[in-house]
Structure 1
Amino acid sequence: MSRKRFHGETGTEQLFSQAKKNDTRTFKVYRRTTLGTCLYDAITELVNDEMFPENLALAAMEHYDRAVASLFQTQVRTVVTSWSGQLYVYRYHEDVWEFYLKNAVFKTAGNPTAEHLATKNVHIVACDGTAPGKNKKNNKKNN
């Protein structure tokens, strides 16, 4: 038996949502993590079993987006001091850069310890964190 996904959340969804209250963006890139996928699957099952309303499901996913972004800003202390690799694909769409590197090497600052990380392939997603509607050219001139 095929189960439906709740409305508005597909693999081709827009990568960010705009919060109306404070004119900030919340990127949805963390939904592709193991935790985000598990949360989505659990909520989808509850919606399909009619135990959780669809409008709350969307609100729960948006809350997850904001919470994870906030945690990364306040709790992650690791700083990448240098990195290298062979760039083989890059794209830019709607203020989101994606880079695919081969044979990448990352070095981090000691907090609590320094690390040297090497991987065969890596996908980097970089999002523009400035508020939407702000003129980026003017921001550069003013800084």
Structure 2
Amino acid sequence: MPIFYEFYRESSIGAALTDSLDELITNGSITPQLAMKVLLQFDKSIAETLAKQVKNKTTVKGHLHNYRLCEDVWTFDVHNAAFKMDGNEVVTAPKVRIVSCKNTESTESK
């Protein structure tokens, strides 16, 4: 069974979901257990959707300020980053954190 990481919860949509769930728990509309199930489904759904539907390739140039590997998770902090997309569009940012995780899907033969 694959493991799904929780870092998408820190995205704007993940933060909005978490805030909404906290409000529903506070109002007594849902239980904390149900909120946890919703968050676990969010982790799974967003990871699967991004893996299946995002096919664009991007190159990144910038100053690698810091990098680390911890428990099969790479983290790169890039300053003055420039992302070049497939369509030659360039997007820049003063600071970017890139997180890359090991694929946890089973590769067993059936």
Question: What TM-score do the two structures reach when normalised by structure 2?
Answer: 0.87
Question: Aligned-pair RMSD on alpha carbons?
Answer: 1.7
2:41 corresponds to: 63
1:126 to 100, 103, 108: 100
Moved over 3 A (4+): none
Aligned-pair identity in percent equals 31
Residue aligned with 1:68, SS: helix
Once residues 33 and 52 of structure 2 are traced to their aligned partners in structure 1, the CA distance between those partners, rounded to angstroms, is 29
How many residues were matched structurally? 107
Once residues 56 and 130 of structure 1 are traced to their aligned partners in structure 2, the CA distance between those partners, rounded to angstroms, is 25
Larger Rg: 1
1:116 aligned onto 2:90 = yes
Within 5 A, what are the aligned runs for 1:1-40?
Answer: 23-40=1-18
- Report how far residue 123 of structure 1 moved: 0.8
Question: Which is helix-richer, 1 or 2?
Answer: 2
Residue aligned with 1:42, SS: helix
Residue aligned with 2:56, SS: coil
1:79 corresponds to: 57
1:98 to 36, 53, 75: 75
Consecutive unaligned residues of structure 2, counting only runs of 5 or more, are: none
Question: What TM-score do the two structures reach when normalised by structure 1?
Answer: 0.68
